[in-house]
Structure 1
Amino acid sequence: MEIKDLNYCNMNTNTIEISSDDSDDDHKNENRYLPKPDTSPMEEDSSSSSSEDSEDSVFPSTSQTTTVIKSSQESRSSKTRKTKSRSSENKKISAAERQALKKKMAVERKAAKDANKVYKPGECMKHMTIEMHPVLLESWYCADVAREAAASGVKVRASSAICDPSLVLWTRTVPPTLTNNDGMMELSAPRMPCERALYVQRLEDAAPLVAARSLADSARQARALAGCPLTLVLYGVKDYFKKSGRKTVNSSNKIISEKDFEEAITDVLVSAACDTVRADTPNELALTIVRFTKAVAETPYKKARRAVDERAEFYMRGDNKKCVAVDKDGNGLGRLWQQMLAVLPMASLESSRALCARYRSPLALFETLLAPGGVAAVADVGVTRAAAPGSKARRIGPEFARKLELLFTATDGSTLID
């Protein structure tokens, strides 16, 4: 029993020595006097291997350390590659999105440009169509309508759907757009009706209505059928009231006089709110229809321009004396800058030319006037009196230079330049 106890103590002390390097001296002394147990070679190998394993677990070998470092580097490099690939994918996505946005903006600009062409003067006539009933279009007094309309770029279409053969309507070709119809998205119609109509009638056919004082009622009914403001076009007024030297059958068939005709026109204007236009030849009638077509085509553009003009306190388009045209390429800016200087008090054509030759833009003159001694520099600008060689030159002068400084640098808009 004593030997077993001693062996047990010896095993405990050995374990303490391996696991801890900082063992006390007392334990070493005790271990020195204890007898060593009998161990077999297998136990020694196992003990040595276990000790080596424990040492390896505490202090890893160089190969293991190198393997760990390599694996960590590989993981870092893989993470870096993944990050770069993700960033490149994000860049590709953002570039694709930018390209798609550019294409979308280009399509929108093109659509807006095409939509503006529909109403722009000079281009709007190409998108207009005159719609007439076949009976009216084939009548002899409308024989020149197709020719004059084609010369103006307007299309003429015979429409039997018009309820009254004497009506003349217009439609405008517009690009289709998406519209909301009770929650359903639909494309708009390619043709848009215009809010104007003509009612063409021969005076011989309208004479019974004038005699019965019912021309205004007829115009009111025609306006209700058209659903828009109406203009009454009477053809052959001059021939109807033409007086000949001899009596004929037609002269005795006149049932109205010129006075009755004027009273009927006034009644149509007041009661039916319809104006009246006269035409005496087929070409004059055709030109009248084309003239109305142009007016109807330019109406939206003129209304939009009028809405912009009404925002100002004065009519800017009426104050256009001595204007200089500038095109989209900038041609004419130099002449405009010279004209701006020429209209100032104490300025002349020669002085404005001299200033424009020295200062190419208003910004250059403004920066010179802000600099110290700028007024004196402007005052010393030489002005040639005439183009003849040997002519004496004069200066701009300090007075005009002072006025230019006040004009360009004043911060109060109510400052008087005397």
Structure 2
Amino acid sequence: MEVRKERSKSDVEANLPKISGKHKSKQSHTTNKILKESQKVLKHSLNFQKVMKREDYIKNIVVNIDETVLLEKYGQEIKSHLESKGLVCRVTSSVSGLISWTRKLPNTIVSMFSNKTEIDEKQYFLIIPCKEFRKLVRERNLTPHVKFIHEIISFQHLCVAVFGMENPSEVEEEAVMDIEFSFKCFWQYVNKSEDLANWVMMATKSVAEIPHKLEQAEKYESQKQFFDSVNKDTVRIDKNGNGLNRLWRQILTVFPLVNLEIAEAICAVYPSPKALFDAYASSTEPEELLQDIPIRRAHGPLTSVRRVGPELSKKSTRSRTWC
């Protein structure tokens, strides 16, 4: 959807006719009033999707069914099932076997930004009869067929239902895998019209709730950024495991009498909770396990060394179930 940029106050005033004297104040007041009203409508329009309930999103969806689908018995069952759920179905002429979705726009957005009353979603559903599917695989035309469809509709995601088949052969599975390496396609083999209609309904619901899912993802990301920046005790751990040692030290400092120096000393000998737990399990005198670990203070000529000591070693033994 093309959205026109809202003009700033300076842009509006620059295009107004020059007014002198007693009329200038009145004109400025009118301009400010118009700007405030426009901003109010804009805010309402952009937040329209956010105030909707999750179950209401589907009310703005139109299901576009290619005319070739309705020539089949399963096509009529799909249409009847969708309409029984209160959905609007529209017969189109696009790609053979294709089902797509259109989202209606709120009237406020239409009046403010565009003459369009709806937008097309980039998710599609393709039904291929078993006989046609096997012919495409046999003639090695399955990948070119999907590529041709992608060139026409530029899908972001494509659900493909092979109707009339339960278990594909090894050759057919390999052909499908070749496509999945190149395109975002999900394949399903369906043998009953009822199951196919239910799957189309589930896909329709999923497409309808895309704004809700994007909103939740955005909310989660903003919360994650907040806690990452505000919580000073947060320990970042990347996919390579960097940060685990720091997390282990932080865990140790939670226990009484354990400060950062003691935690670093224990970590130097037992670099992970598992290492410490295994040492306790194999020790004949677990209460003395930590007492002789050296704690180094400062560096260079002023370095001093002391031990963890028996008291802390004994207390940690009593609490070792946390390991």
TM-score, structure 2 as length reference? 0.52
State the partner residue of 1:291.
Answer: 202
Q: Which amino acid aligns with 1:258?
A: S
Kindly indicate whether the alpha-carbon contact (under 8 Å) linking 1:127 and 1:172 is maintained by their aligned counterparts in 2.
yes
How far did 1:153 drift?
Answer: 2.7
Could you give the per-residue CA deviations for residues 267-316 of structure 1, whole angstroms, max 9, x where no partner exists? 12123442212221111111111111111111122112112212334999
Call closer, same or farther: CA 1:306–1:292 in 2, change over 3 Å.
same
> C-alpha separation between the residues in 2 aligned to 1:167 and 1:315?
43
Local SS of the residue matching 1:192: strand
> C-alpha separation between the residues in 2 aligned to 1:267 and 1:109?
46
State the partner residue of 1:232.
Answer: 160
How far did 1:188 drift?
Answer: 3.3
State the partner residue of 1:331.
Answer: none
> C-alpha separation between the residues in 1 aligned to 2:149 and 2:122?
14
Call closer, same or farther: CA 1:201–1:115 in 2, change over 3 Å.
same
Kindly indicate whether the alpha-carbon contact (under 8 Å) linking 2:63 and 2:90 is maintained by their aligned counterparts in 1.
yes
> C-alpha separation between the residues in 1 aligned to 2:203 and 2:56?
16
> C-alpha separation between the residues in 2 aligned to 1:286 and 1:273?
22
State the partner residue of 1:167.
Answer: 98
How far did 1:103 drift?
Answer: 8.2
State the partner residue of 2:83.
Answer: 150
Kindly indicate whether the alpha-carbon contact (under 8 Å) linking 2:45 and 2:108 is maintained by their aligned counterparts in 1.
no
Local SS of the residue matching 2:134: helix
Query: Which residue of the other structure, out of 271, 274, 279, is the alignment partner of 2:185?
Result: 274
Query: Which residue of the other structure, out of 186, 192, 198, is the alignment partner of 2:119?
Result: 192
How far did 1:115 drift?
Answer: 4.2
Kindly indicate whether the alpha-carbon contact (under 8 Å) linking 1:120 and 1:298 is maintained by their aligned counterparts in 2.
no
How far did 1:231 drift?
Answer: 2.1
> C-alpha separation between the residues in 2 aligned to 1:201 and 1:271?
19
Between the two structures, name the one with larger relative contact order (CA 8 Å, sep ≥ 6): 2
Q: Which structure 2 segments of 5+ residues have no match?
A: 1-28, 228-323
How far did 1:135 drift?
Answer: 2.0
Kindly indicate whether the alpha-carbon contact (under 8 Å) linking 1:176 and 1:188 is maintained by their aligned counterparts in 2.
no
Kindly indicate whether the alpha-carbon contact (under 8 Å) linking 1:132 and 1:165 is maintained by their aligned counterparts in 2.
no
TM-score, structure 1 as length reference? 0.41
Call closer, same or farther: CA 1:311–1:103 in 2, change over 3 Å.
closer
How far did 1:150 drift?
Answer: 2.1
| 1:312 equivalenced with 2:223 (yes/no) | yes
Local SS of the residue matching 1:171: strand
> C-alpha separation between the residues in 2 aligned to 1:273 and 1:133?
21
Kindly indicate whether the alpha-carbon contact (under 8 Å) linking 2:45 and 2:109 is maintained by their aligned counterparts in 1.
no
Q: What number of residue pairs does the alignment pair up? A: 198
Could you give the per-residue CA deviations for residues 64-100 of structure 1, whole angstroms, max 9, x where no partner exists? xxxxxxxxxxxxxxxxxxxxxxxxxxxxxx9x99x99
> C-alpha separation between the residues in 1 aligned to 2:39 and 2:147?
48
Kindly indicate whether the alpha-carbon contact (under 8 Å) linking 2:163 and 2:190 is maintained by their aligned counterparts in 1.
yes
> C-alpha separation between the residues in 1 aligned to 2:69 and 2:175?
24
Kindly indicate whether the alpha-carbon contact (under 8 Å) linking 1:127 and 1:173 is maintained by their aligned counterparts in 2.
yes
How far did 1:205 drift?
Answer: 0.9
Q: Which amino acid aligns with 2:72?
A: S
Superposition map of 1:112-261 within 5 A: 114-116=48-50, 120-160=53-93, 162=94, 164-176=95-107, 187-229=114-156, 230-238=158-166, 258-261=169-172
> C-alpha separation between the residues in 1 aligned to 2:226 and 2:189?
34
Q: Which amino acid aligns with 1:171?
A: T
How far did 1:144 drift?
Answer: 1.6
Kindly indicate whether the alpha-carbon contact (under 8 Å) linking 1:125 and 1:153 is maintained by their aligned counterparts in 2.
no
RMSD in angstroms over aligned alpha carbons?
Answer: 3.5
Superposition map of 1:327-338 within 5 A: none
> C-alpha separation between the residues in 2 aligned to 1:315 and 1:129?
38
Call closer, same or farther: CA 1:170–1:178 in 2, change over 3 Å.
closer
Local SS of the residue matching 1:123: helix
> C-alpha separation between the residues in 2 aligned to 1:310 and 1:274?
27
